[in-house]
Amino acid sequence: MLVEISHIFPYAVLFSLPLAVLGVLVMRRLVHGSLATALTVLAIVPVVATIGGVLAVSGFMFSSILVTTLLVCLLVAVVTVPTAVLLGRGLARRSVWEREARARERAAEASRRELVAWISHDLRTPLAGIRAMAEALADGVVARPAEVADYAGRISGEAANLSGMVDDLFELSRITAGALRLTLSEVPLADVVSEVVAAESAVASRKGVVLRADAVTWPVVLGSDPELARVVRNLLSNAIRHTPPDGTVAVRVDVDGAQALLRVDDGCGGIPEADLGRVFEVAFRGTPSRQPVGGGLGLAIARGLVEAHQGTIDARNHGPGCRFEVRLPLSSPLRTT
């Protein structure tokens, strides 16, 4: 028995080893290619090497035993190769998913750190002002009634800014945690837009910005009135902030198929194309000229609220500035006021 093995061993190695080496070389060339292809080659190489060794040992004499052995090898290949392909595709999908998940996790962590840093800075500024003015009042540095009233007004304004930032953080935390629960009903956009425009008109007037709103038709949408009002308020506030004096902010409402269409046009001068896709990100502030006041969470909150209504929101450059476009589902087809 040992004599037979020592006799056939050199032939088996002589013919199977080159095939195995060839398979290794092919695998090395496929190292950066498809995982499914690499696993297919990995399954085929042992089978081909085995067939080569069997043929060498048999001296290429096709006896019944050799034919049976070759058929067994082919059956093994028929089973293992498709299995390797399926396994490779599954591993490739899982590998891609894991890489994307890790990338999303790293991006989210980086965004959280930037957000915390920015919010900390923005909170310190009004807090420092409140502390300084409170100390001045307490020390009697400011004693005249007119000055006291002025300081009290400033403290009230800074406290309002802080309250708004806290509200934004709370709303954003509800959105990102999936804890936002909407009570949906039929909401006339005419009421929402008119109330927000009336509230923001004073801010626009103080800055010298013209604020106007019109509609082809006033649609009725399926949504939550307070959240929709916040979307419009955040968009108008952002538009007024970035529109220079004597500029115009225009709100226009229309119907497009089964959706209500709300557009807010400003005169900001445009946003770099590379930044347009990021204006709704939580931790994105853009160029220094467009960095928002306060937490800068308004657009991120608007996107979260719109998406909670099964709607969409996007931004693009338009005319002298930017256009923010919101699409919301109508309460029923062609339901307007």
Q: b or e along 48-64 (b: 16 or more beta carbons within 10 Å of the residue's beta carbon)?
A: bbbbbbbbbbbeeeeee
State the pLDDT at residue 3: 40
Percentage of the chain beyond pLDDT 90 is 20
Helix (H, G, I), strand (E, B) or coil at 327: strand
Q: At what angle do helices 2-29 and 35-58 cross, to 10 degrees?
A: 150
Residue 6 has pLDDT above 60, yes or no: no
Residue 14's pLDDT is 56
Predicted local distance difference test score (pLDDT) of residue 245: 92
Shared domain for 259 and 312, answered yes or no, is yes
Tell me how far apart the 2 most distant CA atoms of the chain are, in Å. Answer: 117
Reply yes or no on whether the pLDDT at 208 is more than 70. yes
Q: 32 and 117 in one domain?
A: no
Q: Considering the domain boundaries, does residue 313 fall inside one? A: yes
* Residues 281 and 152 sit within 8 Å (Cβ to Cβ): no
Classify strands 312-318 and 248-256 as parallel, antiparallel or unpaired.
unpaired
Tokens of 331: 């309460």
SS3 letters for 161-193?
HHHHHHHHHHHHHHHHCCCCCCCCEEEEHHHHH
Q: Classify residue 335: in a domain, yes or no.
A: no
Please say if the pLDDT value at position 9 is more than 60. no
Whether residue 237 is found in the same domain as residue 298: yes
Mean pLDDT, rounded, for 290-315: 78
Q: ∠ at Cα 270 (269, 272), nearest 5°?
A: 135
Q: Are residues 306 and 201 in the same domain?
A: yes
Q: Are residues 200 and 167 part of one domain?
A: no
For the cut 60, the answer to whether the pLDDT of residue 334 exceeds it is no
Q: The domain spanning residue 122 has which CATH number?
A: 1.10.287.130
Whether the CB-CB separation of 333 and 273 falls below 8 Å is answered with no
The residue count of the chain comes to 337
Least confident segment among 81-95, 149-163, 196-210: 81-95
Does residue 214 form part of some domain? yes
Q: Are the C-beta atoms of residues 36 and 95 closer than 8 Å to each other? A: no
Q: Is residue 336 part of a domain?
A: no
Q: Which of 102-111, 248-257, 260-269 has the lowest mean pLDDT?
A: 102-111
Q: Which of 99, 125, 160 is the last residue of a domain?
A: 99
pLDDT in tens, 57-91: 666 666 676 677 767 777 777 777 777 667 666 76
Q: Do 215 and 144 reside in the same domain of the chain?
A: no
Tell me the per-residue pLDDT of 162-197, one tens digit each, with 9 for 90 and over.
887 777 777 777 777 677 788 888 999 999 999 999
Task: Mention every residue, 6+ apart, whose C-beta is less than 8 A from residue 11.
Answer: 53, 56, 57
Number of domains in the chain: 3
Calculate the dihedral angle through the C-alpha atoms of 76, 79, 85, 91, rounding to the nearest 10 degrees.
Answer: -100
Q: Specify the pLDDT at position 163.
A: 80
Q: Which residue has the higher pLDDT, 322 or 165?
A: 322
User: In 3D, which of 314, 324, 308 has the Cα closest to residue 226?
Assistant: 308
Are 235 and 264 in contact by the 8 Å Cβ rule? The answer is yes
Final residue belonging to a domain, choices 129, 148, 176 = 176
Spatial contact of 247 and 209, defined as CB atoms under 8 Å apart: yes
Q: Is the pLDDT of residue 56 over 60?
A: yes
Please give the structure tokens belonging to residue 85: 């392909």
Q: Which of 90-104, 167-181, 296-310 has the highest mean pLDDT?
A: 296-310
Which percentage of the chain shows pLDDT scores above 70?
Answer: 69
Reported pTM: 0.60
Q: Cα(220)–Cα(204) distance, rounded to whole angstroms?
A: 27
Query: Are 86 and 39 spatial neighbours (Cβ–Cβ below 8 Å)?
Result: no
Mean pLDDT of all residues belonging to the chain:
78
d(CA 188, CA 303): 20
Domain housing 90: 2-99
User: Which of 127, 158, 176 is a domain's end point?
Assistant: 176
Q: Kindly report, residue by residue over 263-286, the tens digit of the pLDDT.
A: 999 998 888 888 887 888 775 656
234 shares a domain with 198: yes
